């Protein structure tokens, strides 16, 4: 098959969508598929056998890390030259809408996938009143596709309820060869602790430092556990605000890590806290679990698909008392409270992660592609 991706985010940016794409593409190439990626400019021109075409882009005012690609005649020409069997629009916004238009005008079968819960992000940027309008725009875009993939059962249900048709689950994936428990080491632990002594539990967070991630919810946990330390791994537009929020706490801002350094960071923590209640899946949770780090996540969105409460991690109620703080503190205490139980959770977390390799997720995706091509042929007949 010849597949053209239109994605609003790609390398060198680091996020869950980029991780999924960069893990999926090599498996597609290995299966004999040809891949062309359209993404905002700044990416390499080739990625592990896939061609990459950068599109002129402008930073989003509220979120300068995210660039909005503006497709033009060169995009259309590159697509015509490639002659794809199918177009896959990832998280359609501006560039994705261009992909939808090109699919429709050229009669190319279209599949879309939903990764970022943008309507729920709006309230964190003071624009909650626009949520109904955004759902209408998303519905209009996604309903152009023959199939719409979601990364969790909760999102399949929510999108269906909002009027988005033909939804299906695109299963999770994680690199269990890279993220593994034996990378736990004292050198990385010291780096995560920064200037603070290793007197208690080391809590870690990995991901974008942005408002919708609700990272400030971890502060009451530090106050409730005075000897605990926090390492924030990642960067983003909310970093300066977070530095002020966590100013008088034992918190280290580590910045971006990747590869084995990132895997070692997960493995070297005592608990992974992920307070966000807007996640469609939460790939970082799977990475932490693969590294054998017990996890705490919100009982909302796609996270309950990953965490079985009390077995391989703990769920907290983000809508509970004190903005969910009491529940997050209690869940963290459960994970940290008993060393024997924590070791059991580490083992169970790793076992859960081992069920979800990228190869299986990509085989499932290829089956969806074949289904879309077959459905397209039926519609054309």
Which tokens go with 84?
Answer: 């794809």
What count of other Cβ atoms lies within 10 Å of the Cβ of residue 158? 21
Same domain, 166 and 219: no
Greater confidence, 341 or 261?
261
Same domain, 251 and 233: yes
Q: Mean per-residue pLDDT for 250-261? A: 96
Q: Mean per-residue pLDDT for 259-268? A: 97
Q: Which of 140, 285, 275, 284 is nearest to 218 (CA)?
A: 275
Same domain, 328 and 361: no
Same domain, 209 and 348: yes
Same domain, 155 and 42: yes
- What pLDDT digit, counting tens, does each position of 202-224 carry? 999 999 999 889 999 999 999 99
Residue 117 has pLDDT above 70, yes or no: no
- Kind and range of the H or E run holding 40: strand 34-40
> In the beta sheet, which residues pair with residue 53?
38
pLDDT on residue 120 = 58
- Kind and range of the H or E run holding 344: helix 339-353
**Mean of all residue pLDDT scores within the chain:** 90
DSSP state of 62: T
Q: Mean per-residue pLDDT for 279-297? A: 90
Residue 128 has pLDDT above 60, yes or no: no
CA angle 27, 28, 30 (to 5 degrees): 60
Q: Which residues contact 135 (CB under 8 A, 6 or more apart)?
A: 119, 162
Same domain, 49 and 139: yes
Rounded distance between C-alpha atoms, residue 269 and residue 272, angstroms: 7
Same domain, 148 and 10: yes
Which tokens go with 286?
Answer: 């799977």
Residue whose tokens read 């459905």: 375
Q: Which CATH number fits the domain that encloses residue 69? A: 3.40.50.2000
Identify the band that residue 381 occupies on the pLDDT scale cut at 50, 70 and 90. Answer: low
pLDDT on residue 282 = 81
Same domain, 96 and 230: no
Same domain, 221 and 193: yes
DSSP state of 226: T
- Kind and range of the H or E run holding 78: helix 73-82
Same domain, 282 and 133: no
Please spell the DSSP secondary structure of 38-87, one letter per residue. Answer: EEETTS-SEETTEEEEEE-EEEETTEEEEEEE---HHHHHHHHHH--SEE
pLDDT on residue 65 = 64
- What pLDDT digit, counting tens, does each position of 295-313 carry? 999 998 889 988 999 999 9
Please spell the DSSP secondary structure of 270-339, one letter per residue. Answer: SEEEE--S-BSS-HHHHHHHHTT--EEEESSTTGGGT--BTTTEEEE-TTSGGGGHHHHHHHHHHHHH-H
Rounded distance between C-alpha atoms, residue 293 and residue 230, angstroms: 14
pLDDT on residue 125 = 56
> In the beta sheet, which residues pair with residue 38?
6, 53
Rounded distance between C-alpha atoms, residue 85 and residue 288, angstroms: 36
Number of structural domains, the chain?
2
Same domain, 317 and 366: no
Identify the band that residue 126 occupies on the pLDDT scale cut at 50, 70 and 90. Answer: low
Terminal Cα distance for the chain, rounded: 21
Residue 365 has pLDDT above 70, yes or no: yes
Same domain, 207 and 302: yes
Rounded distance between C-alpha atoms, residue 242 and residue 87, angstroms: 39
Domain that holds residue 301: 181-353
């Amino acid at each position: 098959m010849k597949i053209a991706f239109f994605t609003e985010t790609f390398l060198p940016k680091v996020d869950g969508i980029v991780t999924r794409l960069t893990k999926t593409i090599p498996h597609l190439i290995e299966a004999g598929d040809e891949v062309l990626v359209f993404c905002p400019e700044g990416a390499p021109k080739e990625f592990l056998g896939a061609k990459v075409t950068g599109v002129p882009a402008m930073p989003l005012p509220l979120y300068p890390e995210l660039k909005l690609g503006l497709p033009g005649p060169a995009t259309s020409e590159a697509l015509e030259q490639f002659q794809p069997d199918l177009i896959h629009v990832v998280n359609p916004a501006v560039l994705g809408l261009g992909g939808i238009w090109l699919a429709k005008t050229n009669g190319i079968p279209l599949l879309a996938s939903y990764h970022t819960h943008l309507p729920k992000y709006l309230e964190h940027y003071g624009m909650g009143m626009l949520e109904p309008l955004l759902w209408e725009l998303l519905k209009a875009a996604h309903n152009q596709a023959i199939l719409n993939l979601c990364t969790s059962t909760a999102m399949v249900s929510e999108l269906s309820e909002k009027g988005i048709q033909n939804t299906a689950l695109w299963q999770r994936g994680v690199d269990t060869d890279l993220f593994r428990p034996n990378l736990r080491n004292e050198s990385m632990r010291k780096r995560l602790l920064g200037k603070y002594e290793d007197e208690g539990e080391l809590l870690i967070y990995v991901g974008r430092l942005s408002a919708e991630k609700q990272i400030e919810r971890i502060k009451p946990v530090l106050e409730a556990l005075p000897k605990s330390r926090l390492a924030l791994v990642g960067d983003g537009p909310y970093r300066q605000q977070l530095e002020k929020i966590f100013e008088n706490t034992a918190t280290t801002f580590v910045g971006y890590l990747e590869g084995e350094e990132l895997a070692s960071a997960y493995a070297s923590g005592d608990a992974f806290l992920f307070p966000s209640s807007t996640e469609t899946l939460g790939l970082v949770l799977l990475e932490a679990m693969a590294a054998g780090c017990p996890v705490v996540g919100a009982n909302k969105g796609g996270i309950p698909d990953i965490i079985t409460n009390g077995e391989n991690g703990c769920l907290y109620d983000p809508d509970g008392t004190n903005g969910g703080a009491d529940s997050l503190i209690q869940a963290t205490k459960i994970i940290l409270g008993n060393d024997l139980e924590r070791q059991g959770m580490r083992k169970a977390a790793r076992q859960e992660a081992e069920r979800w390799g990228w190869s299986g997720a990509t085989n499932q995706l290829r089956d969806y592609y074949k289904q879309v091509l077959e459905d397209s042929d039926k519609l054309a007949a």
